[in-house]
Amino acid sequence: MGQNEFVKLIAPFKDKVFRLAKRLLISSEEAEDATQEVLIKLWSRNKNLDDFNNIEAFAMTMTKNYCLDQLKSKRAGNLQIVHNDFANNEPSSEKIVEDNDSLDWVEKIINQLPVQQRLIIQFRDVEQYEFEEIAKILDMNETAIRVALSRARKTVREYMIKAHSYGIK
Amino acid sequence: MESNKIETLLEKYFRGETSIAEENQLRDYFSSPNVSPNLEQYKPIFGYLALAKEQNFEQEIVLKSKKRNLAWLSIAASVVVLLGIGTYSYFNYYNINQNQDLGTYDDPEIAFRETQKALSMLSTHLNTGIESVQYIQEYENSKNLIFKQQ
């Protein structure tokens, strides 16, 4: 497989890889690095890439694992503050998210969820994967995913209702 | 719109039981301008989720891994070092072989002559050495003048 072919192959999901990395790592720069790293890893396996019948799911699993490793080493290196300090300075859609205060709120709440729930929210509510696909990526059963998803959504709702009633009172 | 239907959908949504189609229905409803006021607080959630999907990876994809280059570099370096050590020790070995000539003779007569020559050379050198210390005897004489011997 040539480079051009490979780039075409990953085009449909490279943004998803980036968004997932950003959901987990928060900082855009880190997410960009992670995306490059994952794509390089995919590229280095490109000879037996055809064996994986669902490359997108495979890439998602790789991204997830890579980011979790990254978080682990960051925590060990005590560098977590970096994420909060340098979080967002990306243009366009992200800017819009930031400009809108209540949307910003939602992002903050979601990013405070436990990693597992964050992953599931990202896959289901942002990327709109079917439960079956999420189950494959996360290696969990669908019921557990539904339970975690429900819990995550309810947490977000709780915070939003609180924020909303603060607004009124 | 039928806000009752939306409310039941929302309930399902928070139980994690909605399908993708139903979730899209909810998204459409909350992105429309006429959201019922008692559901207003859910608007940002769906607004954010829709927006979050818009972020794209803008960087150019770099497919050359730096790590692999480093690996090749180290292999090349170790080959060079090995070659260096190899040639060095090879030439050293060669030189040692060249210096194996100890000046031995096969014919006993020549050997005898050569040995005599070598020994006489040694004795002349030894004699010149002794001559140069002869004057020490002078010290001995003057010492005997001062300290009377008994």
- All domains of chain A in start order, with CATH: 1-88 (1.10.1740.10), 91-169 (1.10.10.10)
Contacts 24+ apart (CB under 8 A), B27-34: B29/B1, B32/B1, B34/B1
> What are the pLDDT digits (tens) for B101-139?
677 778 889 889 999 999 999 999 998 888 888 888 888
Q: What is the mean pLDDT of residues B38-61?
A: 85
Please state the ipTM of this predicted complex.
Answer: 0.76
Same domain, B23 and B91: no
CB contacts of A88 in chain B (<8 Å) are none
Phi-psi region of B67 (alpha: psi -120 to 50; beta: other; left: phi over 0): alpha
CA distances (Å), origin B80, targets B67, B77, B88, B89, B92: 20, 5, 12, 14, 18
Is residue A71 pLDDT above 50, yes or no? Answer: yes
Shared-domain flag, residues B24 and B69: no
Residue B66 shares a structural domain with residue B118? yes
Contact of B42 with B29, CB cutoff 8 Å: no
Q: Which of B43, B51, B61 is facing A93, going by the closest CB pair?
A: B51
B63 pLDDT band, cuts 50/70/90, is confident
B111 and B38 both lie in a single domain? no
Q: Does B66 touch chain A (CB under 8 A)?
A: no
CB spacing of A147 vs B16 below 8 angstroms: yes
Which of A96, A147, A154 lies closest to B51 in CB terms?
A96
For residue A121, give the nearest of A78, A152, A147, A144 by alpha carbon. A152
Quote the pTM value.
Answer: 0.64
Please give the residue range of the domain that contains residue B75.
Answer: 62-150
The tally of domains found in chain B comes to 2
Residue B130 and residue B73 share a domain: yes
Contact by Cβ (8 Å): B59, A32: yes
- Please report the residues numbered 90 through 119 in chain B whose beta carbons come closer than 8 angstroms to any beta carbon of chain A: none
Under the banding of pLDDT at 50, 70 and 90, the label for residue A12 is confident
**Do both B35 and B71 map to the same domain?**
no
Asked if residue B46 is part of any domain, the answer here is yes
Q: Does B57 fall in a domain?
A: no
Nearest CA in chain A to B44: A103
Cross-chain residue pair A103–B48, CB shorter than 8 Å: yes
Question: Is B126 domain-assigned?
Answer: yes
Same domain, B48 and B72: no
Q: Which residue of A has its CA nearest to B65?
A: A40
- Of B27, B22, B25, give the one whose Cα is nearest residue B52: B27
